[in-house]
Amino acid sequence: MSVRAQNYQISPDAIAQQVSGETVIMDLASAVYFGLNSTGSKIWQQLESGAATSTILAMLADTFEAPHEVLATDLYELLSELENAGLITKSTPR
């Protein structure tokens, strides 16, 4: 899987809070809660800082001993879920 350099913007309706190494996100528009494990929390923090997907993927590769393809697939699956839930939207690079 090739790395698609993409930036995302967090929805203004998404409120996130760290709880015991995990992230709980509430979507104010739908009143639905989402939970992210410690890996998902690291990705969310990167999104909050405005990091591009290529930067997030590099962070994952530095953190986990897994094939690049697996990391990329898992990252894009999570980003797709967050986007489909309306928590993030694609944006132009900063």
Of all residues in the chain, what percent are helix, strand and coil, respectively (each to 5)? 40, 25, 30
Among the listed residues 12, 15, 31, 5, the one whose alpha carbon sits nearest the alpha carbon of residue 92: 5
Q: What secondary structure, in 3-state letters, does 19-44 show?
A: ECCEEEEEECCCCEEEEECHHHHHHH
What digits encode the pLDDT tens for the residues 16-42? Answer: 999 998 999 999 998 889 999 999 999
Q: How confident is the model at residue 92 (pLDDT cuts 50, 70, 90)?
A: confident
